[in-house]
């Protein structure tokens, strides 16, 4: 039994029950950690004199927590039983068995992490044959936002020094020409700065000792293409970058194992979590296809953050080190990813729900708010006073929460009835959060997150505009597909989670109802035989996880992208099938394990098929038309030339040619959205003269026209001309300008380069 399996051994529970029933005196130790004490007293051998070390379980009904204390029965000194393990226990406070259990847990966690790292690496390599791509092909493989983020890593490592590279990133004049922006602030580029620093240190150290860091060779290509040089090894920038990302996400799987073990109280629960993640891998992450995205760096720290939060919720005594670690994880989660604030908003909402229902004490809730506020302040400073943080729902929810806590006694006194108090507090917190957010946005004049409200509005009504359609026409922002839900059913994680949440909800309703009947949980008199489990349950971590699961489920149904939070949490919650706290009624350990293995067997039917399907994905990346385009730009345009075009292509142009661009794929800043909208008038039905005037206003020298953007659509109403029809009613019915220019670009533009995909149009400055 491990540290994480506290209070799950049936034999130990029986001994505890016997101790209580026999009338033995139980000692109360409020400063001790119950799990550690429990494990340190298990299986202590005979002391050689016919005496054994016994233990007693004490349930403090008022505080709803347990404590295990040692009652050593020895005629002389009462401390030694004559064994080596007892000697270590007496001197250090822990047993050899404790070390063994921790060691086994760590070994399994490391193995899970290594397996996931290898799986991610193989999937990425199989999909793109990445190790055999040339430098430019590797860069082209990073499409859309990925290429934009990686371009800053490239700028940083190619700079003469660390400070010069940092200066180039913080004074970027190539991404939104002619503007100079702080890209570190705008795009949350701390991962690129950190990895770039590691790469500089690594290559510098290896060069100093004369150790080769990469192997290069020529790759012959078909269709008459020239051979290209391909390099593999940590000395190759792209290889180093993706390897670090996959290593971090390998560690994430180790965290998931530990998390599942801790949450369920069983190492088998950790195994269930890991297996479920592999069975539902395609629904749980996309890091193997899109390594440079912000979530690849940020999400692993959210897993660690939730693990630490679970520890804090479970323990009755607050530990400063746990709170500090939680704050550090908040910072590491928030810094790389702007979307993280919305995730933490859902977490705060779930914590307040637990608080209103009585599962969190006021002191613990205040401590958590302090941690979140401190984390927010650090991120605000490190992101150079980014206004989007000050005007976010996240910070508004924290401030509103403080106000509700301060007024809780007044609300309780006015409302009288407990159920009314809960609803009033919830409504007051929600209303205050929304009002404060819009007040701050109005005062500071920030509207960068307005698209979130419009996106939700479009899901619930028929509202649509240009920018909203740019989101909703992308598959990841559409409603969750029925196929995804069926996949959850086939791997059994959805049915299992429904059962688990139903059981937790039943227990929670029972506890809340009992609390409301007696006005306070502390006044309960009727503690039944399951008091031990209910006391642990009353810590609230189970309720929090259920609420968080429901929150992610609702959001994932509205926006499919959120399934990347929902699926891993469902896999984590599946570990609770091993929880004696929830399923102890099944019987002894053997019966529980048989049940778990039976469920895993059913999961594996579809899960193994999913895993094999993923492993069967084999590709060989090639994008010859774009390679020709990039080589032409490098050879035939001035270094100070400025380009406009579709967002994904602009990222590749900036990354591989170093030319300035006027728009990019980071479609969140309000002003940048308007710049992109001007660029995309090329795909509207507007007159060529007006479109040319827009491009000249942006000071673009060239426009890269793509016929596919004229015609393709993910569904009806989602081609670029159709999106423009929503706002440009005046020109509806006309031929799209892009169609006309694909035939003849004159007189307003001059065709400079053309292949089967791309057409480069020069914008003559003297044309009217």
pLDDT tens digits, 417-462? 778 888 899 999 999 999 999 899 888 877 667 777 777 788 778 8
On whether both 497 and 611 belong to a single domain, the answer is: yes
- Say if 608 falls within a structural domain: yes
CA 623, 625, 626, 628 torsion: positive or negative?
Answer: positive
Of 66, 94, 122, which marks where a domain is finished?
94
Of 61, 94, 127, which marks where a domain is finished?
94
Residue 56 pLDDT class (50, 70, 90 cuts): very low
Alpha-carbon torsion, ordered 117, 122, 124, 126, to 10 deg: 180
What confidence score (pLDDT) does residue 539 get? Answer: 63
Residue 464 pLDDT class (50, 70, 90 cuts): confident
- What is the average pLDDT score of the chain? 84
Write the pLDDT tens digit of every residue in 480-494. Answer: 889 999 999 999 999
- Number of independent structural domains in the chain: 3
Whether pLDDT at 298 is above 60: yes
Whether pLDDT at 99 is above 90: no
- Say if 334 falls within a structural domain: yes
3-state helix, strand, coil in the chain (%, to 5): 65, 5, 30
> Cα separation of 626 and 622, whole Å?
9
More confident residue, 685 or 80: 685
> Cα separation of 652 and 149, whole Å?
11
On whether both 252 and 376 belong to a single domain, the answer is: yes
- Say if 114 falls within a structural domain: no
Yes or no: say if 463 and 250 are a contact pair by the CB < 8 Å rule: no
Residue 527 pLDDT class (50, 70, 90 cuts): very low
Mean pLDDT value of segment 579-599: 86
What confidence score (pLDDT) does residue 87 get? Answer: 52
More confident residue, 292 or 714: 292
Whether pLDDT at 221 is above 60: yes
Mean pLDDT value of segment 8-24: 39
More confident residue, 678 or 29: 678
Whether pLDDT at 760 is above 80: yes
The pair of three-digit structure tokens given for residue 737, joined into one six-digit string? 């300008």
Residue 471 pLDDT class (50, 70, 90 cuts): confident
Range of the domain at 281: 241-391+446-615
> Cα separation of 14 and 287, whole Å?
46
Whether pLDDT at 78 is above 60: no
More confident residue, 520 or 498: 498
What confidence score (pLDDT) does residue 766 get? Answer: 63
Whether pLDDT at 26 is above 70: no
The pair of three-digit structure tokens given for residue 768, joined into one six-digit string? 């009217």
What percentage of the chain has pLDDT greater than the value 70? 83
On whether both 585 and 678 belong to a single domain, the answer is: no
Q: Can you tell me whether residue 329 is helix, strand or coil?
A: helix
On whether both 735 and 604 belong to a single domain, the answer is: no
Mean pLDDT value of segment 301-311: 97
What confidence score (pLDDT) does residue 84 get? Answer: 52
More confident residue, 143 or 450: 143
- Say if 741 falls within a structural domain: yes
Alpha-carbon torsion, ordered 113, 116, 122, 125, to 10 deg: -90
> Cα separation of 496 and 355, whole Å?
27
Whether pLDDT at 665 is above 80: yes
On whether both 610 and 699 belong to a single domain, the answer is: no
- Say if 105 falls within a structural domain: no
On whether both 539 and 501 belong to a single domain, the answer is: yes
What is the reported pTM? Answer: 0.84
More confident residue, 254 or 57: 254
On whether both 387 and 518 belong to a single domain, the answer is: yes
Write the pLDDT tens digit of every residue in 119-132. Answer: 999 999 999 989 88
What confidence score (pLDDT) does residue 685 get? Answer: 92
Write the pLDDT tens digit of every residue in 169-203. Answer: 999 999 999 999 999 999 999 999 999 999 999 99
Residue 28 pLDDT class (50, 70, 90 cuts): very low
What confidence score (pLDDT) does residue 33 get? Answer: 38
Of 572, 597, 615, which marks where a domain is finished?
615
On whether both 542 and 653 belong to a single domain, the answer is: no
Whether pLDDT at 526 is above 60: no
What percentage of the chain has pLDDT greater than the value 90? 58
Q: Please report, in angstroms and rounded to a whole number, the separation of the first and last CA atoms in the chain.
A: 80
Q: Give alpha helix (H) positions in 559-588.
A: 563-573, 580-583
Residue 145 pLDDT class (50, 70, 90 cuts): very high
Q: Can you name the residues that pair with 706 across neighbouring β-strands?
A: 758
> Cα separation of 553 and 350, whole Å?
13
- Say if 106 falls within a structural domain: no
- Say if 420 falls within a structural domain: no
On whether both 358 and 252 belong to a single domain, the answer is: yes
Whether pLDDT at 91 is above 80: no
What confidence score (pLDDT) does residue 538 get? Answer: 56
The pair of three-digit structure tokens given for residue 718, joined into one six-digit string? 């989602």
On whether both 641 and 726 belong to a single domain, the answer is: yes
On whether both 381 and 497 belong to a single domain, the answer is: yes
Whether pLDDT at 763 is above 90: yes
On whether both 545 and 654 belong to a single domain, the answer is: no
Write the pLDDT tens digit of every residue in 350-380. Answer: 999 999 988 888 999 999 999 999 999 999 9
Whether pLDDT at 45 is above 60: no
Whether pLDDT at 81 is above 60: no
What confidence score (pLDDT) does residue 27 get? Answer: 36
Whether pLDDT at 649 is above 90: yes
- Say if 255 falls within a structural domain: yes
Which range is most confident: 278-287, 517-526, 706-715? 278-287
Whether pLDDT at 30 is above 90: no
What confidence score (pLDDT) does residue 355 get? Answer: 92
What confidence score (pLDDT) does residue 469 get? Answer: 87
Whether pLDDT at 85 is above 60: no
Rg (CA), the chain: 30
Distance of CA 405 to the CA centre of its chain: 29
What confidence score (pLDDT) does residue 50 get? Answer: 40
């Amino acid at each position: 039994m491990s540290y994480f399996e506290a209070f799950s051994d049936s034999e130990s529970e029986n001994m505890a029950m016997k101790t209580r029933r026999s009338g033995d005196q139980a000692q109360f130790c409020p400063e001790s950690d119950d799990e550690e004490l429990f494990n340190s007293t298990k299986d202590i051998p005979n002391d050689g004199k016919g005496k054994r070390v016994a233990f007693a379980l004490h349930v403090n009904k008022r505080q709803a927590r347990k404590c295990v204390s040692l009652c050593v029965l020895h005629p002389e000194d009462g401390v030694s039983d004559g064994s080596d393990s007892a000697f270590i226990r007496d001197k250090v406070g822990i047993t050899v068995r404790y070390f063994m259990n921790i060691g086994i847990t760590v070994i399994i966690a490391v193995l899970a992490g290594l397996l996931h790292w290898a799986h991610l690496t193989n999937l990425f390599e199989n999909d793109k044959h990445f190790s055999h791509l040339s430098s430019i092909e590797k860069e082209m493989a990073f499409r859309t936002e990925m290429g934009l983020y990686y371009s800053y890593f490239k700028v940083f490592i190619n700079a003469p020094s660390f400070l010069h590279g940092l200066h180039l990133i913080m004074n970027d004049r190539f991404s939104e020409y002619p503007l100079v922006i702080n890209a570190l602030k705008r795009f949350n580029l701390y991962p690129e700065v950190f990895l770039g620093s590691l790469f500089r240190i690594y290559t510098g150290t290896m060069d100093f000792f004369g150790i080769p860091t990469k192997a290069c060779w020529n790759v012959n290509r078909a269709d008459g293409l020239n051979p290209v040089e391909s390099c593999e090894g940590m000395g190759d920038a792209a290889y180093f970058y993706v390897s670090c990302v996959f290593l971090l996400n390998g560690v994430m799987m180790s965290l998931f194992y530990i998390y599942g073990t801790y949450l369920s109280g069983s190492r088998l629960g950790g195994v269930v979590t890991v297996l479920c993640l592999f069975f539902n891998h395609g629904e749980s992450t996309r890091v193997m296809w899109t390594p440079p995205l912000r979530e690849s760096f940020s999400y692993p720290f959210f897993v660690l953050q939730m693990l630490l939060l679970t520890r804090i919720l479970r323990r009755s005594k607050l530990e400063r080190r746990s709170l500090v670690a939680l704050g550090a994880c908040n910072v590491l989660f928030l810094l790389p990813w702007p979307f993280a604030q919305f995730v933490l908003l859902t977490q705060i909402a779930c914590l307040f729900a637990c608080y209103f229902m009585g599962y969190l004490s006021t002191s613990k809730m205040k401590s958590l708010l302090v941690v979140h506020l401190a984390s927010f302040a650090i991120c605000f400073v490190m992101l150079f006073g980014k206004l989007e943080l000050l005007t976010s729902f996240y910070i508004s929810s924290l401030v509103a929460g403080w106000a509700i806590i301060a007024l809780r006694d007044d609300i309780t006194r006015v409302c009288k009835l407990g159920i009314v108090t809960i609803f009033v507090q919830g409504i007051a917190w929600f209303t205050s959060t929304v009002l404060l957010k819009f007040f701050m946005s109005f005062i500071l004049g920030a509207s960068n997150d307005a698209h979130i409200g419009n996106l939700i509005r479009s899901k619930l009504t028929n509202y649509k505009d240009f920018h909203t359609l740019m989101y909703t026409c992308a598959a990841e922002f559409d409603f969750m597909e029925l196929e995804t839900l069926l996949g959850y059913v086939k791997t059994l994680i959805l049915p299992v989670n429904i059962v688990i949440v139903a059981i937790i909800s039943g227990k929670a309703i029972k506890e809340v109802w009992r609390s409301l009947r007696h006005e306070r949980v502390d006044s309960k008199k009727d503690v039944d035989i399951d008091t031990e489990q209910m006391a642990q349950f009353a810590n609230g971590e189970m309720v929090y996880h259920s609420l968080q699961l429901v929150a992610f489920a609702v959001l994932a149904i509205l926006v499919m992208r959120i399934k990347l939070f929902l699926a891993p949490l469902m896999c984590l919650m599946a570990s609770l099938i091993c929880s004696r706290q929830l399923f102890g009624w099944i019987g002894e350990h053997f019966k529980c394990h048989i049940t778990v293995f039976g469920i895993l067997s059913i999961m594996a039917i579809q899960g193994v098929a999913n895993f094999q399907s993923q492993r069967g994905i084999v590709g060989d990346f090639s994008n010859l038309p774009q390679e020709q385009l990039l080589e032409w730009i490098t050879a035939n345009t001035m270094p100070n030339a400025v380009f406009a075009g579709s967002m994904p292509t602009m990222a590749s142009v900036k990354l591989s040619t170093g030319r300035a661009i006027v728009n990019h794929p980071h479609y969140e800043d309000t002003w940048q959205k308007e710049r992109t909208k001007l660029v995309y008038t090329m795909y509207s039905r507007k007159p060529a003269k007006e479109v040319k005037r827009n491009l000249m206003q942006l000071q673009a020298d060239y426009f890269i026209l793509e016929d596919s953007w004229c015609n393709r659509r993910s569904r009806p109403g989602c081609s670029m001309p159709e999106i423009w029809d929503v706002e440009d009613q005046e020109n509806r019915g006309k031929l799209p300008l892009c169609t006309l220019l694909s035939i003849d670009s004159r007189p307003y533009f001059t065709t400079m380069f053309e292949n089967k995909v791309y057409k480069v149009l020069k914008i003559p400055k003297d044309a009217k």
